A and B are shown apart, each in its own frame.
Chain A
């Protein structure tokens, strides 16, 4: 199992493109794998015949585990190697395929995953209290979980051990949970599905979510887009409304750096750079590529970056690192018709902006300042859009959050 990125420590074999006995050429696509960051094809590391497949489709193994053997036609493996799970014990004559041969295959399970380093002390505490370390926020260097974090987690945030163990098993083991009845079929979790499930549960557990709602008159923005989209198209760029929302959000983040932050036990960590994550829906799940330094780009730059990122996300060619380092996230759920959503925060960020569909609605406009009925009141039809901003109440309070959204609204309503 190749290691596709710094933080990618396991992968699921999605599909074998060759069967045992098939001839393979070096660099020819051999299998598809799926990780929590990216789905990709793995090329054959050598030419020859696919002798044996060790890891079946749907199985998830750690990076570095041998997936299959490629050898010469007619060659037999000295000793058949048990499939999946167990590490290969006898050195076969064929070249190990798609693995790092220098490393012995790490044992699967037991090891806490998803962090660079788990200290022996933390490991012992986790074992004793049946803690899923993925649930524990780390405050050490590079997010390392320290003993202090464990103590804090066990004292405050931790669900009782039984519940925690149960939650883990629901997330990771297909045998747990309610038994299937005859009308049901089980679809094993993909890495992405599992990653989403874990992130969503963790986010709700960690951050107190509050949502504030604004409506925006999109007339000015629509007018601008209508006037410019053809010019963009001649440059090969698809000018979407998302580009406008990215521009307005990035500028608002730069002006309200408190929103561009994350919560830690010892304080609010503000980032001086604006790296905006944009949720992109895929066939099974979603991915959040990050538009780096979004506040430093003009509309054309944003449009181009968005085109590239969404194309790469949908074609599965996104670089593994392209989903990392976001300081804020927005999700344009309006593209699928939704008027109003309350998205879940992408941890460890302080908030997420949901964008509803732009629809023509009757609204009241009046020259009179008063809220009392007036002869100046008129019902007009305008392209309207709901913005929902869900934020971490540990970091932001309502008034501050509202000023941030108001800044976005103001830009969109006065776009020239």
Chain B
């Protein structure tokens, strides 16, 4: 680092999976680093998102296994299901993970400044006491470089406030004291589908409302329909292609009025609670960005380039507050690029066209994992494509697990074999995706994947077969 008179080489605002990873990378590269956090170390991911949700979803999977135990020859009576234990277990997991982040901060000699950070000028941050520790001293610190990693929060429906009672956002849904009898989820993206699956498995009567014409509308249409099939089989009411017109809260529950986009008819659904899961808004309005001269777009997202620089050269921004792609692992990757850029070491910039190759996972059952373009998107981008698709049904491991649906689909450029996209739905596909992400990153073609010997019997054989299918000759088909 060049010589300067600031307190720190790098100051990171926000300790989510973007911020704390950026801080560690900066510290590893010899930079004097501090991180400012107002709530809890780990941000939404560790405290309110990925981590507790994954714990809850595993509870749901265990419960589903118990409910289907008869298929495996187990019968029992009087199965007791304690909803509260699921929440409690998730909080235990959160606590361990958060302590892990605190340990990593200590290990890397990163100062954790407890409080809310606000820019005074482009190099100075005032840290005032906040939820994480109301007794922490107020102070002013300065840094040569600053990384804004303040994340985002749930976007409310216009005119409908989150009250935590009847109208919920994901934070409320993650810590309910009791399972609601009935629930309406507005928004069939990853969060809505995951939490919906969790509550539905625990016995909540579930309705999912989606504006677009299918659930998981960002995924391949065949993936969406596979998930829709499974949800319907669980007795979930899926209302797609409908616009939410009104949410009325009463003492007994909520009434959601929706308009069918096809025939313009309106109808209403009632439930005890409604969960709104329709995207996020960035946490950028109370940061003093004006004092720093940092520009945001009209929606409040901080504008950054491929190395996460804002319009102010020494100020960077990563993660949800940039509006690039609100996923924990994307924020981490952006954080590493930002830290390496500050340290002036070799890094891998992330230009806009790379984000579509970031892994996208939905942890409901069946699981969904994808990256890159769908077949339609690839054709639209001008590629001539070869598509290889292989179902899980003939796969020995899938049979042993009792899985009867799902598939792996690989979209490749017909000319040079470049992998353009992968779309998977089925058992543990989120764990299978990295093979294809690596292949895409290293520009390996389906020919090499098909020739890579995959152990038998494993689910990964389905990827190998899909790769064979791209080449035109799946073996077990």
Contacts and interface: CB of A to CB of B under 8 A. Distances in A.
B388 to A, nearest CB: 16
Contacts of A194: none
Given A122-B443, A266-B306, A147 B418 contact: yes
Given A270-B344, A272-B344, A120 B349 contact: no
A125 B448 CA distance: 16
Contacts of A267: 307
B269 interface: no
Interface string B425-455: 0000000000000000011110110000000
Interface in A132-165: 140-142, 146-147
Interface in A238-282: 266-267, 270, 272
Nearest to B448: A120
Given A119-B442, A146-B443, A266-B306, A124 B349 contact: no
B349 A121 contact: no
B420 to A, nearest CB: 11
B300 interface: no
A125 B348 contact: no
A365 to B, nearest CB: 40
B306 A119 contact: no
Nearest to A140: B348
Nearest to B442: A119
A267 B413 CA distance: 29
B418 A121 contact: yes
A147 B417 CA distance: 11
Given A119-B443, A121-B416, A147-B416, A141 B344 contact: no
Given A146-B443, A266-B306, A124 B417 contact: yes
A259 to B, nearest CB: 16
Interface string B1-17: 01000000000000000
Contacts of A117: 442
A397 to B, nearest CB: 20
Interface string B335-360: 00000000010101101000000000
A272 B442 CA distance: 30
Interface string A85-122: 00000000000000000000000000000000101111
B452 to A, nearest CB: 12
Contact of A141 (B2, B346, B418, B445): B346
Interface string B245-275: 0000000000000000000000000000000
A348 to B, nearest CB: 13
Given A124-B417, A266-B306, A119 B346 contact: no
Interface residues of A, number: 17
A128 B443 CA distance: 16
A182 B187 CA distance: 84
A125 B349 contact: no
Interface in B186-226: none
A304 B238 CA distance: 79
Nearest to B419: A121
Contacts of B416: 121, 124-125, 128, 147
Contacts of B2: 272
B449 to A, nearest CB: 10
Contacts of A124: 416-417, 445
Contacts of A125: 416
A120 B417 CA distance: 8
B348 A120 contact: no
Given A147-B416, A266-B306, A266-B349, A120 B344 contact: no
A119 B349 contact: no
A188 B2 CA distance: 50
User: Which residue among B413, B416, B443, B445 has the maximum number of chain A CB atoms within 10 Å of its CB?
Assistant: B443
B384 to A, nearest CB: 14
B56 to A, nearest CB: 37
A120 B443 contact: yes
A322 to B, nearest CB: 21
Interface in A324-346: none
A117 B442 CA distance: 9
A147 B443 contact: yes
Nearest to A125: B416
Interface string B319-348: 000000000000000000000000010101
A257 to B, nearest CB: 9
A142 B346 CA distance: 8
Nearest to B413: A121
A215 to B, nearest CB: 34
A266 B351 CA distance: 10
Contacts of B445: 120-121, 124
B209 to A, nearest CB: 41
Contacts of A141: 346, 348
> Which of B413, B442, B444 has the largest number of chain A CB atoms within 10 A?
B442
A176 B351 CA distance: 43
A117 B168 CA distance: 51
A118 to B, nearest CB: 9
A91 to B, nearest CB: 26
Contacts of A120: 417, 443-445, 447-448
Contacts of A266: 306-307, 349, 351
A119 B444 contact: yes
Contacts of B306: 266
Nearest to B1: A272
A121 B349 CA distance: 21
A270 B306 CA distance: 17
Nearest to A270: B344
Contacts of B443: 119-122, 146-147
B442 to A, nearest CB: 6
Q: Which residue, of A117, A121, A142, A267, has the highest number of chain B Cβ atoms within 10 A?
A: A121
A124 B351 CA distance: 24
A244 B445 CA distance: 54
B98 to A, nearest CB: 32
Nearest to B349: A266
B410 to A, nearest CB: 14
Interface string B102-119: 000000000000000000
Contacts of B444: 119-121
Nearest to B447: A120
A190 B128 CA distance: 69
Contacts of A128: 416
Contacts of A122: 443
Interface of B: 2, 306-307, 344, 346, 348-349, 351, 413, 416-418, 442-445, 447-448
Interface of A: 117, 119-122, 124-125, 128, 140-142, 146-147, 266-267, 270, 272
Given A120-B443, A122-B443, A147-B418, 13 more contacts: A119-B444, A120-B417, A120-B448, A124-B417, A124-B445, A128-B416, A141-B348, A146-B443, A266-B306, A266-B351, A267-B307, A270-B344, A272-B344
- What 7 A-B pairs come out closest when comparing CB atoms? A119-B443, A121-B443, A121-B418, A120-B445, A124-B416, A121-B416, A266-B349
21 contacts: A119-B442, A119-B443, A119-B444, A120-B417, A120-B445, A120-B447, A120-B448, A121-B417, A121-B418, A121-B444, A121-B445, A122-B443, A124-B416, A124-B417, A125-B416, A140-B348, A141-B346, A146-B443, A147-B443, A266-B351, A267-B307
